Amino acid sequence: MDPVKRVTGRMAPLDRADVDTDQIIPKQFLKRIERTGYGPFLFYDWRGGADFALDRPEHKGASVLVTGANFGCGSSREHAPWAIRDAGYRAIVAPSFADIFRANCYKTGLLAVTLPDSQVRHLIDLASEDPAARITVDLEAQEVRGEGFAYRFHIDAFARECLLGGLDEIALVERHEPSIAAYETRRAAWLPTVK
């Protein structure tokens, strides 16, 4: 994974709460066996709707998705962050995320950042009123900033380190092979195997 330090760009506002992964990437697109190519299917059933802001020309090319609470609820499909990334977004700012979705974002190199409701509301309003406004989601400084504002955010320290370093998590775990092997010798003999 490439290191991710900060994302600077325009915002696309999706002013809805509880956006589930079935909306982010509907099931008919989960049959592919590749990790890429999901961008065209992002929010497939919502696209083309009159009230769907992401379609508007002024939000094309945006790199930060700003949206409502509990974003990414529902299934564990990592295809959801893959689709968001493939569509050109590099960061998502919301008041909260579903646990599995947020973990999947980090693995995908997407910055999923939580800010309080009022600050997210400011960003959604700003994106709607001034689509050309640019913000920076700075993982190193743990700050979302734009003209006239800077909002601090908290992020899990280990996830931050992995993103900043572009670390291969499998390689990190493999470094602990002696501990893993030792644990395996301690496991009860009666625990089931699938054989």
Q: Which residues bind other proteins (CB under 8 A)?
A: 16-18, 20, 22-23, 26-28, 30-35, 45, 69-70, 73-79, 96, 98-100, 103-104, 107-108, 156-158, 169-170, 172-174, 176, 179-180, 183-184, 187-195
Q: Please state the closest distance from residue 65 (CB atom) to other proteins, in A.
A: 18
Can you give the three-state secondary structure of 113-178, one letter per residue?
EECCHHHHHHHHHHHHHCCCCEEEEECCCCEEEECCEEEECCCCHHHHHHHHHCCCHHHHHHCCHH
Nearer to other proteins, 132 or 170 (CB): 170
Q: Please state the closest distance from residue 45 (CB atom) to other proteins, in A.
A: 5
CA quadruple 112, 117, 122, 125: dihedral, nearest 10: 90
Contact criterion met (CB below 8 Å) for 82 and 108: yes
Nearer to other proteins, 150 or 173 (CB): 173
What is the bridge-based pairing of β-strands 111-114 and 91-94?
A: parallel
Nearer to other proteins, 37 or 61 (CB): 37
Nearer to other proteins, 18 or 140 (CB): 18
Q: Please state the closest distance from residue 150 (CB atom) to other proteins, in A.
A: 26
